[in-house]
Amino acid sequence: MLGQLHDPIAAIATAPGRGAVGIVRVSGTGLAPLVQALCGRPLRAREATYLPFADGQGGALDHGLALFFPAPHSFTGEDVLELQAHGGPVVLELLLARCLAAAAEPEATTGRARLPGLRVARPGEFSERAFRNGKIDLAQAEAIADLIDASTEAAARSASRSLGGAFSREIGTLREALIHLRMLVEATLDFPEEDIDFLQQADAKGQLQGLQQQLAAVQQRARQGALLREGIKVVIAGQPNAGKSSLLNALAGAELAIVSSVAGTTRDVVAQTIQIQGVPLHVVDTAGLRESSDEVEQIGIERAWRQIEQADALLFLHDLTRAQQAQYIAADAAIRERLLAHLPATVPVLEVWNKADAAPGATEAGEAGTGALQLSARTGLGIEALRQRLLEIAGWQALPEGVFLARARHVQALQQMGEHLSQAAALLAQSAPALDLLAEELRLAQGALNAITGEFDAEALLGVIFSRFCIGK
């Protein structure tokens, strides 16, 4: 892989399928001979030119717009050529093939290939080159993919903020404060005669506390950003005929699951992603939990338990119309006991009582004691209260200044930084702190922070991140 970093690359940069316009993109060093071969003339920098794309045999493959971005003022930091043609897949494949063939052909004047080594780009390689050439940092590179993959408007807006550098600027502010603190500690190590008095006079403890407060604020926004990107998995579980499929349909606002009064109708997992205030929630309807001799239903019940074990949050759905039946109460108790054995303590369980419209003497939909909710999936009564409770369970807090889109690895890196800063604070609080250990904790804190924007050497991580991009990105 390292040996291919300087190869010129080409790719179709628009999505597969038909469209009004399709783009073929080329990036590399010294594209002028290739531009001449494809366009028949030099191109002015950053100016769209309408012309025929030469097929190499005196004809034209298509007519369209050509744009040339000379290095370093381009997305990748290299020379970039974009050919905007009609968006038929055959046309674009022919145009890409012509780019590769023209690059290998010898120039009339020199006899050398116009652009030696031109090859089809790997997924994400254009963005990877932008990162390697200092045009964007790693967090911004990830934001490109997140913007393309955004499933909600809020996620798209947050990804756009990250791409614009909002998250990176937050990280940069933290880094500057951390570097200044490291400088103080390192200076004390270099000049031991100054000892701890130097750190006290520079208010190193106060600077560290300020840094921890800044970190806490960034962590909060990063957690919200990760929630916008990842969402949470919410599993609906309960006995047969409690209304699980009806609840899924009510939350989704569509008839996704079959609803029937026949127990055991749902025999497989039905999943749907919904959004509440821009937060994606992956809601999973499962088979009713009970003892069954039906082989197919047993498979569905086992799949339900597997989904429950993977849940980020669980809706334990009950039937208000059977709330006083001893057999029903006993079955619910057995399910609850198994839930406690299968679910980690960190997974929240929300008790929900359905069929409030049909239960005699039921209170109005809302709180039902011990944090439970009453609702009617059939009429929609209480559904909005459930949506708000799901947001609370997810940990969503709409921040007035907006959030930037973040990933789980960003949240983890900030958490690691916080742990090292806590260790540093404990060392600094000692009457005779071990300055070498303090310096090491601060160095490790900066290492965790640098992992977010990519100011480190980790080929394996870069390969994973950029391999998930589109081919032409």
Residue 311 Cα distances to 156, 349, 466, angstroms: 25, 10, 28
Q: Binding residue per annotation — 76?
A: no
Q: Binding residue per annotation — 473?
A: yes
- The reply to whether 207 and 303 lie within a common domain is no
Q: Specify if 401 maps to a domain.
A: no
- The reply to whether 247 and 390 lie within a common domain is yes
Q: How confident is the model at residue 418 (pLDDT cuts 50, 70, 90)?
A: very high
Q: Specify if 473 maps to a domain.
A: no
Q: Give the CATH number for residue 330.
A: 3.40.50.300
- The reply to whether 213 and 308 lie within a common domain is no
- The reply to whether 114 and 262 lie within a common domain is no
d(CA 27, CA 46) in angstroms, rounded, equals: 14
- The reply to whether 414 and 363 lie within a common domain is no
- Please, which residues bridge with residue 27 across strands? 9, 80
Q: Specify if 332 maps to a domain.
A: yes
Residue with tokens 């057999």: 327
Q: Binding residue per annotation — 18?
A: no
Q: Does position 254 have pLDDT exceeding 80, yes or no?
A: no
Lowest-pLDDT range of 252-261, 282-291, 318-327? 252-261
Q: Specify if 53 maps to a domain.
A: yes
Q: Does position 131 have pLDDT exceeding 60, yes or no?
A: yes
Q: Binding residue per annotation — 265?
A: yes
Q: Specify if 459 maps to a domain.
A: no
- The per-residue pLDDT for 253 is 75
- The reply to whether 366 and 385 lie within a common domain is yes
Beta strands (DSSP E) in 287-331 are 313-319
Domain boundary among 135, 166, 181: 135
Q: Does position 456 have pLDDT exceeding 90, yes or no?
A: no
pTM over 0.85: no
Q: Which two tokens stand for residue 205?
A: 């403890």
Q: Binding residue per annotation — 354?
A: yes
- The reply to whether 317 and 422 lie within a common domain is no
- The reply to whether 49 and 104 lie within a common domain is yes
- Please, which residues bridge with residue 87 across strands? 19
Residues 425, 442 contacting (CB under 8 angstroms): no
- Please, which residues bridge with residue 79 across strands? 28
Q: Binding residue per annotation — 453?
A: no
Q: How confident is the model at residue 76 (pLDDT cuts 50, 70, 90)?
A: very high
Q: Binding residue per annotation — 205?
A: no
Domain boundary among 394, 419, 438: 394
- The per-residue pLDDT for 201 is 78
DSSP annotation of 382: T
Q: How confident is the model at residue 467 (pLDDT cuts 50, 70, 90)?
A: low
Q: Binding residue per annotation — 110?
A: no
Q: Binding residue per annotation — 127?
A: no
The number of folded domains in the chain is: 3
> Rounded to 5 degrees, what are φ and ψ at 136?
-140, 160
- The reply to whether 268 and 378 lie within a common domain is yes
Q: Specify if 415 maps to a domain.
A: yes
**Averaged pLDDT, 450-465:** 63
Q: Which two tokens stand for residue 315?
A: 């809706």
Q: Give the CATH number for residue 20.
A: 3.30.1360.120
Q: Does position 261 have pLDDT exceeding 70, yes or no?
A: no
Q: Binding residue per annotation — 103?
A: no
Q: Specify if 246 maps to a domain.
A: yes
Q: Binding residue per annotation — 25?
A: yes
Q: Binding residue per annotation — 376?
A: yes
- The reply to whether 387 and 315 lie within a common domain is yes
Q: Give the CATH number for residue 419.
A: 1.20.120.430
Domain boundary among 363, 394, 425: 394
Structural domain containing residue 118: 2-135
- The per-residue pLDDT for 462 is 54
d(CA 395, CA 438) in angstroms, rounded, equals: 34
Q: What is the percentage of the chain residues whose pLDDT exceeds 90?
A: 45
Residue 26 exposure: Cα atoms within 13 Å on the Cβ side: 31
Q: Binding residue per annotation — 27?
A: no
- The per-residue pLDDT for 111 is 84
Q: Which two tokens stand for residue 82?
A: 């974009």
Residues 178, 211 contacting (CB under 8 angstroms): yes
Q: Binding residue per annotation — 22?
A: no
Write the pLDDT tens digit of every residue in 381-410: 999 999 999 888 887 876 545 567 788 889
Q: Binding residue per annotation — 287?
A: yes
Q: Binding residue per annotation — 233?
A: no
Write the pLDDT tens digit of every residue in 360-369: 655 543 444 4
- The reply to whether 112 and 49 lie within a common domain is yes
**Averaged pLDDT, 295-319:** 86
Q: Specify if 460 maps to a domain.
A: no
Q: Binding residue per annotation — 30?
A: no
**Averaged pLDDT, 122-140:** 92
- The reply to whether 8 and 97 lie within a common domain is yes
Residue with tokens 């439970």: 372
Residue 3's contacts (CB-CB under 8 Å, 6 or more residues apart) are: none
Residues 244, 266 contacting (CB under 8 angstroms): yes
